[in-house]
Structure 1
Amino acid sequence: MALVQRKMATPQECAAGLRKLTDAELRRVDEAARLRAVGLSGLDGSDLYQEAIARMLEGRRQWPLDVPLEVFLRKTVQSIASDYRRRQEAAGVVAESDVRADPETGDGAIAMAGDVSMAPQERVSAAETLARIDAMFRDDADAQAVIAGKAHGLSPAEIQKEHAMNDTRYATTLRRIRRSVVRLSEKGGNLA
């Protein structure tokens, strides 16, 4: 079997490719980054998105020209998020919500102190986003299981094991979630 050499984009081709992305493609990459950032402490979707672009432009991630740029960016975002999550787990980073202030009630120290990480408008927007996603998948137990598992930082294998899903069922559910979120976003539904 012969090894096929893939043509990689030059920095100029990367910059030109970014300029050619449509609003819909940019929105899909942004939505993918937001979804991948769920459960990552100290990192949000825009951080993942910007890091993916920076790595591509700096040549740390090479874009194969036979792969659509949107797909490449989404996979780069996924890789960065997975790597960050692994480093958090290896370092023993504990989610703020798991820090307990009162052993009897289980109230978290952060929850008792109040949320100062977001402006009031951002909190309202986040609550609306969660409500839309919940409504979108209210009758879809598999989708709810995958979303909850990802929100808690579980790996795909852990989600599959916990909910008795095979690879096909998990992948199908994940595609269904992504398509639904993209459709809502394209209809003008604000997920941010």
Structure 2
Amino acid sequence: MDSQTQKTVRSIEEFESRIANLTKTEENTLRMIASQYVAPRDVDDLLQQSFVSVLAGRAWPLDQEFLVFMRMTMRSVASSDRRKAERRSGLHAVPQHGDAADLHDVADKAPSPEDLAVQTAEYQSFMKSLEGDVAAVAFIEAKCAGFSKTDIMQYCQLDEKGYDTVAKRVRRALGRRDQWEAKHA
């Protein structure tokens, strides 16, 4: 690795250390994130595949929070697995004469790649606007992972008043962003 690369990505040792020192809350967060991309029985498999992907060379940028990096890694691994599964030949259920196909079972409810790209860009832009506000960034990560208020307070190390303060800062930042977008649309 050249010196330029070393300055922009974390080492495998840093990743291994981060995994070895996961808190219970972070483990639960990773499981919740994984469950957004796969069936519940496949959550541990997706986590393992994501860890292996990083250990095999997927770069963790220095400027990216761990949970955000893992979310992107899990999404990538799950997407790759789906593409591979789609290429495999297999049996497909076809309705018999007179039977109606249930479109609720057929429709793909996952967001399109374009929607995911827009959502990711918006998320990254918003997170960049909060750069330096560690509590707000942790608050948003916990909210995105589906944490309850109590879990968020524990994860962010906040009391009731601190939680309300951070939530208000985030709402205001979102409001400023919405106003800016409306003005520049």
Mark the runs of 5 or more structure 1 residues left unpaired by the alignment. 109-147, 161-166, 188-192
Q: Structure 1 residues 72 and 5, CA, compared in 2 at 3 Å: closer, same or farther?
A: same
Q: CA contact under 8 A between 2:29 and 2:145: conserved in structure 1?
A: no
Per the alignment, residue 175 of structure 2 pairs with none
Q: Structure 1 residues 93 and 28, CA, compared in 2 at 3 Å: closer, same or farther?
A: farther
Q: CA contact under 8 A between 1:33 and 1:74: conserved in structure 2?
A: yes
Q: 2:112 aligns with which of 152, 155, 158?
A: 155
Q: CA contact under 8 A between 1:34 and 1:45: conserved in structure 2?
A: yes
What is the CA RMSD across the aligned residues, in angstroms?
Answer: 4.1
Per the alignment, residue 94 of structure 2 pairs with 100
SS in 2 for 1:99: coil
Q: Structure 1 residues 179 and 16, CA, compared in 2 at 3 Å: closer, same or farther?
A: same
Q: Structure 1 residues 185 and 52, CA, compared in 2 at 3 Å: closer, same or farther?
A: farther
Determine whether 1:45 maps to 2:43: yes
Whole-Å separation in 2 of the counterparts to 1:185 and 1:81: 29
Amino acid at match of 2:18: G
Q: CA contact under 8 A between 2:31 and 2:47: conserved in structure 1?
A: yes
Identity among equivalent pairs (%): 23
Q: Structure 1 residues 78 and 67, CA, compared in 2 at 3 Å: closer, same or farther?
A: same
Matched residue count = 127
Structure 1 residues 15-164: aligned runs within 5 Å: 15-38=16-39, 44-57=42-55, 59-91=56-88, 99-100=93-94, 102-106=96-100, 149-150=109-110, 155-157=112-114
Q: Structure 1 residues 66 and 21, CA, compared in 2 at 3 Å: closer, same or farther?
A: farther
Q: CA contact under 8 A between 1:31 and 1:182: conserved in structure 2?
A: yes
Q: Structure 1 residues 107 and 64, CA, compared in 2 at 3 Å: closer, same or farther?
A: closer
Extract structure 1 runs of 4+ deviating beyond 6 A: none
Q: Which has the larger radius of gyration?
A: 2
Q: Structure 1 residues 106 and 181, CA, compared in 2 at 3 Å: closer, same or farther?
A: farther
Q: Structure 1 residues 63 and 31, CA, compared in 2 at 3 Å: closer, same or farther?
A: same
Whole-Å separation in 2 of the counterparts to 1:180 and 1:63: 20
Deviation at 1:16, TM superposition (A): 0.8
Mark the runs of 5 or more structure 2 residues left unpaired by the alignment. 103-107, 124-139, 152-185
Q: Structure 1 residues 101 and 184, CA, compared in 2 at 3 Å: closer, same or farther?
A: farther
Whole-Å separation in 1 of the counterparts to 2:87 and 2:98: 29
